[in-house]
Structure 1
Amino acid sequence: MKINVSFDLTPEEFRRVMGLPDVQEFQQEVFHQMMEKMKSGEEGYDAMSLYKPLFSESMTAMNKFQ
């Protein structure tokens, strides 16, 4: 027997139903700060250093999958 249940919710409604915090303002602030650092060319700021951990984890997961 199969039972399929579907919900027609927006991401915002789903977030509220699951009791997850609203982090949209936090994300916008972090993004704004990153953009300001990139635009000003802040000393020692390397945008790729933020993504290196994500890339290495993704490749490790892909290798394990293969």
Structure 2
Amino acid sequence: MIETLLLALGLVLIVEGLVYALAPSLLERMLLALTTLSEDQRRMMGLIALALGVAMVWAAKTLGA
């Protein structure tokens, strides 16, 4: 269980690091675009991302990861 958690956190850090390393200006533009959205829209985006993440973890575990 701890191995899976460490793997997941490591993968998140890799993806986050790639965004900062390869496209910092794009990240700034995305953050500015987020400020134009309402709090409810940002919350809905977060819930959708959460649901997709849970579905992906479930699928990975079901497939034997």
TM-score > 0.5 by shorter chain:
no
Normalising by structure 1, report the TM-score: 0.39
User: Larger C-alpha radius of gyration, 1 or 2?
Assistant: 1
Which structure dedicates a bigger proportion of its chain to helix? Answer: 2
Normalising by structure 2, report the TM-score: 0.39
